[in-house]
Amino acid sequence: MNGWSPRTGHVVSFIDLGTNSVRLLVVRLNPNFSYTVISQEKEVVRLGENAFVDRNLRREAMDRAVHVCRKFAELSRTYGADEIIAVATSAAREAANQDVLVERMKEEAGLDLGIISGKEEARLIYQGVSSGIDLGARTALFVDIGGGSTELIVGDHDSYSFLDSVKLGAIRTTAAFLPLGYKGAVEESVYNKMKRHVRSETVHTVKAIAKGKKFDLVIGSSGTIMNLAEMASRAFGGRPGALRLAHLRKLTAMLRPMTLEQRKQVPGINPERADIILGGAAILETLMEALKIEEITISDRGALNGLLVDYLSAIEGYPHAEGLSVRETSVLQLGRSCNIDEGHARTVARLAVELYDSAQAIGLHTLGKKERELLRHAAFLHDVGDFISFNDHHVHSYYIVRNADLLGFDDREQATMANLVRYHRKRSPRRKDPGMAELDDKTQQKIVVMSTFLRLAETLDRSHANLVASAQFRKGSKGSVVLEVTADEDISLEVWGVENHAKAFKHAFDRELSIEVKARNGYGFGTPSWRA
């Protein structure tokens, strides 16, 4: 169980020592099988600076890396971490003097530094990135450009079919074609030499990917790709969170004639990457051309997230160990982090889906599977606002769901779920409400319909006792609708609550609503039925 106690919780820290920078992630594992991110940090150390010439890490570079890792370890322990997992990648694994780095990390930082292979780095990148996007039935090509290596992976939601690590990176490629400390413009001929070198180094990888399983989308991670996408977006627009090959070509043509100081002033650039950004761009541009990729989707996740996913996957009870989808894992993690009543949440989600399906069967709505899934997730999260205060907790729930890092959902889907939890109690949604106004008319109308099901489902478990076995709509007389509820105990409280939502039902569907209660054994308990 990785030393974790379900009674007391556990704080664990992850450190990723890359060729260019060091990243830190500190999380608290909670007794209810959720986790809380306590701290995320990043520092540029340039461990691989001038290291690929003779395969030796420079003392100055090691000094920087050890200093930052020691500070990160101290910070981790301040947060209560009693377990720190530290790994190093390309620059360290290729260095002839890697043993010196490992020994210094042990003596000066108190860290057991593990040096991972290129394939293992690629696997962790796949774990980290794929766990943050809803692939569904799609297959993706993952591209990560580091300082010293580039990892390429082909995989779907369940597993990968191809892994490779190529000895190409933003620092390594820059060092191979430009003098150390070079501050001038990069001539087109030099940039083209970089691209020819990339083509030569990736020829076998490109062929293997082209012959293998077809991919439906391409996802790019790492600071280099993120920074290129940000600059291109500022300069040329395009789809948010994506980078087009056409825009990348325009960007490199714009950057090449600039001096280092001029590149540092380009909107969106990270000045600490200005000296190596064209080396990274040459790798990405060449790969996109060779694999006929017109657009790449950007992810801010990577190997560090993969370390966390790996860790959680080994602990029975965590969503990552249960084979859930990215969306389900993300929703469960948020709910548990807010200490929801999970039994009540699951009951409400079950009833909301039953109402949705039966309403669809009698023609009350024509919404589809996507809306059904969003309703189910929103129903599970409807009470997360209790974490702040019970009073007006539906408003707090809206804020939490709208601003949480819900992986696998796009912005519109997250806004939809936020509005659903906002209107699970008290008044019905209004088009001019701030949360609704950001959505188009069609989505607003869907929320009016879906929130009605959530209101009724929540009310049918208002006692939090899971008394209602089933709830379904059926057609009544003269165009009315009957809510048929099955229960084995008296549910007078739930019935009275449903009556209060008859007006909301009428507003959503322009139908009268009545309720009938029966027991599964055929005998009632005197629970009142009513007709609006």
Handedness of CA 323, 329, 335, 339 (dihedral sign): positive
Q: Map residue 42 onto helix, strand or coil.
A: strand
> What confidence score (pLDDT) does residue 430 get?
75
CA–CA distance, 244 with 37 (Å, rounded to integer): 32
- Residue 88 near residue 114, CB atoms below 8 Å: yes
Which helix (H) or strand (E) segment is 161 a member of?
Answer: strand 160-166
pLDDT tens profile 49-91: 988 888 999 999 999 999 999 999 999 999 999 999 999 999 9
User: And the tokens for 509?
Assistant: 């569907």
pLDDT at residue 2 tops 70: no
pLDDT at residue 523 tops 90: no
> What confidence score (pLDDT) does residue 321 get?
64
Amino acid identity of 229?
A: A
Compute the half-sphere exposure of residue 154: CA atoms within 13 Å on the CB side of its CA.
15
* Closest C-alpha among 480, 492, 479, 481 to residue 525: 492
> What confidence score (pLDDT) does residue 313 get?
86
Name the CATH superfamily for 10-116+304-313: ATPase, nucleotide binding domain (3.30.420.40)
pLDDT band at 3 (very low <50, low <70, confident <90, very high): very low
- Residue 470 near residue 486, CB atoms below 8 Å: yes
**Alpha-carbon separation of residue 23 from 88, 150, 415, 451 (angstroms):** 11, 18, 31, 41
> What confidence score (pLDDT) does residue 478 get?
87
Q: Evaluate whether the domain defined by 336-531 bears CATH number 1.10.3210.10.
A: yes
C-alpha angle with apex 148: 127 to 51, nearest 5 degrees? 140
3-state helix, strand, coil in the chain (%, to 5): 50, 15, 35
End-to-end CA distance of the chain: 55
Query: Looking at the domain covering 133-300, what would its CATH class be?
Result: alpha beta
Per-domain residue ranges for the chain? Answer: 10-116+304-313, 133-300, 336-531
pLDDT at residue 366 tops 60: yes
* Closest C-alpha among 184, 379, 170, 156 to residue 262: 184
User: And the tokens for 244?
Assistant: 């087009």
CA–CA distance, 73 with 71 (Å, rounded to integer): 5
C-alpha angle with apex 179: 104 to 254, nearest 5 degrees? 115
pTM for the complete prediction? 0.79
CA–CA distance, 438 with 528 (Å, rounded to integer): 41
pLDDT band at 297 (very low <50, low <70, confident <90, very high): very high
> What confidence score (pLDDT) does residue 94 get?
92
> What confidence score (pLDDT) does residue 529 get?
55
Handedness of CA 463, 466, 467, 473 (dihedral sign): positive
Percent of the chain scored above 90 by pLDDT?
Answer: 71
pLDDT tens profile 324-355: 788 898 899 999 999 999 999 999 999 999 99
Neighbours of 119 (CB within 10 A): 13
**β-strand pairing of 10-17 with 21-29:** antiparallel
> What confidence score (pLDDT) does residue 289 get?
97
Q: Which are the contacts of 402, defined by CB distance < 8 A and separation ≥ 6?
A: 414, 415, 418, 435
Shared fold status for 133-300 and 336-531: no
Most trustworthy range by pLDDT among 211-215, 248-252, 340-344: 248-252
